[in-house]
Amino acid sequence: MTALSAQSTQTTRVLLRSFGYAAAGAGYVLRTQRNARIEAVAAAGAVAVGIWLGLGAIEWAVLALTITIVLGLEVLNTSLEIAVSLASPEPDPLAKAAKDVAAAAVLVGALGSLAVGLFLFGPRLVARFFAP
């Protein structure tokens, strides 16, 4: 084995290990956070509706970005809640504020995703169900 292929193999192992850590984190969030599970089901539902309505490429990009933002905010919220609980195991007003603000970020993202859903799906759903 050459030095270059050994380095490539090592890089691949490190990369795969990193993906494993990320998958473990995603699994933790889905196992422990009810809202993350709700958001994941909502995302799957939005994808199913997008397939049914035949979204175009730009619409798929907007939907994918919206889903990524909401789920990413949920992951960040969970990690911040864990870190704050670790740093401040006793009740503390600032710890509570940090957790509340992180939760608000998820709420803002979720409300924004509802608006995006109305723009993407609304006209097509109206046409499907109410057009003559």
90 is catalytic: no
CA separation, residue 21 to residues 34, 69, 70, 76, 115 (Å): 21, 20, 21, 15, 33
Catalytic choice (39, 59, 74, 90) = 74
Structure token pair of residue 3: 């030095």
CA separation, residue 31 to residues 34, 107, 112 (Å): 8, 20, 25
Q: In this structure, what are the phi and psi dihedrals at residue 2, rounded to the nearest 5 degrees? A: -80, 165
- Which amino acids are annotated catalytic? 74
